Amino acid sequence: MIYSFTSSFYFSLVFTSSHSLLLSLIIFLAFCVKLPIYGLHHWLPIAHVEAPTFGSIILAGVLLKLGGIGLIRFSSFLDFTLLKFILVSYFLFFLVFSSLICCFQSDFKRLIAYSSVAHIIAVPISLLSFTHLRIKTATYLILFHGLSSPILFSLVGLTYLFRASRQLTLIRGLVLVAPFLSFVLIISFLFTLSAPPYVSFFSEVLFFILSYGLTSYSLPFLLLFALLCLVYNLN
């Protein structure tokens, strides 16, 4: 469709042409499948649970981040003004709902997969903002999530070697068997939680600022999101 409009695949020529809301929505949702966003995520928990540890690391650290890179590359091409009015309420609601789902997960690996779905919604919400910080915020979120998720999946693989299970109720008492692994798990979950003084805290602050700049009604959703993230990370 883009080639039929511009007769070119070059970004510099594609960006100079105007396109419809339908085309912007199609491109935006296509990359959201790759991220993935809640509602388009049904393949991700299945893929992570069935994949070996190194497969989950590559999937979470590299492949899923290509969806965010695509959104960033097309950020000057998409009509975010209209997309904001269509999608921002959907993103804010499922930002909280997907975090709530994480609180009820019993499988360690599935919990990390669903937490990726919950946390990565921050990327399109940041891009829907109109400030000059949106590209930086989305880049930071992608970078730090691309670091934390592979670490957690590798720790899941190590935990499975000790307990031969990924059920949270069966791997308790790990500190007695492997105290150093337990310490690394705590550090990793604090990094995922974006608690200070970790650098990921900076990206979360920028995300909260941009979300509140989109609409003041986002504040209760953001507070619930922060609370639920704390709940499932402590779990």
Chain segment 50-93, per-residue pLDDT in tens: 888 899 999 988 988 999 999 988 887 777 778 888 889 999 99
User: Residue 19's pLDDT is what?
Assistant: 61
User: Residue 58's pLDDT is what?
Assistant: 92
pLDDT band at 17 (very low <50, low <70, confident <90, very high): low
DSSP code string of 99-122: HHHHTT--BHHHHHHHHHHHHHTH
pLDDT band at 100 (very low <50, low <70, confident <90, very high): very high
User: Residue 18's pLDDT is what?
Assistant: 58
Domain count, the chain: 1
User: Residue 176's pLDDT is what?
Assistant: 85
Which residue type, as a one-letter code, is found at position 122?
Answer: A
Please determine, for residue 16, whether its predicted confidence score (pLDDT) is greater than 70: no
Query: pTM (2 decimals)?
Result: 0.88
- For 44-98, give the secondary structure using H, E and C: HHHHHHHCCHHHHHHHHHHHCHHHHHHHHHCCCCCCHHHHHHHHHHHHHHHHHHH
pLDDT band at 130 (very low <50, low <70, confident <90, very high): confident
Helix (H, G, I), strand (E, B) or coil at 195: coil
Q: Do the domain assignments include residue 30?
A: yes
Q: Do the domain assignments include residue 10?
A: no
Look-up of token digits 């085309």: 23
Q: Do the domain assignments include residue 128?
A: yes
Contacts of 89 (CB under 8 A, 6+ apart): none
At 215-229, the pLDDT tens digits run: 889 999 999 999 999
Q: How far apart, in whole angstroms, are the C-alpha atoms of residue 150 and residue 101?
A: 21
Q: How far apart, in whole angstroms, are the C-alpha atoms of residue 166 and residue 36?
A: 23
Look-up of token digits 């709902």: 97
Q: Do the domain assignments include residue 14?
A: no
Across the range 173-197, mean pLDDT stands at 88
Across the range 181-206, mean pLDDT stands at 90
At 149-163, the pLDDT tens digits run: 999 999 998 888 888
Q: How far apart, in whole angstroms, are the C-alpha atoms of residue 195 and residue 144?
A: 12
Q: Supply the range of the domain harboring residue 90.
A: 20-234
Q: Do the domain assignments include residue 112?
A: yes
Please determine, for residue 123, whether its predicted confidence score (pLDDT) is greater than 70: yes
User: Residue 15's pLDDT is what?
Assistant: 64
Q: Do the domain assignments include residue 5?
A: no
- How open is the CA angle 159-189-104, to the nearest 5 degrees? 80
Number of neighbouring beta carbons within 10 Å of residue 211: 24
Q: Do the domain assignments include residue 2?
A: no
Q: Do the domain assignments include residue 192?
A: yes
Q: How far apart, in whole angstroms, are the C-alpha atoms of residue 37 and residue 140?
A: 18
Higher-pLDDT residue of 14, 77: 77
59: which DSSP letter? I
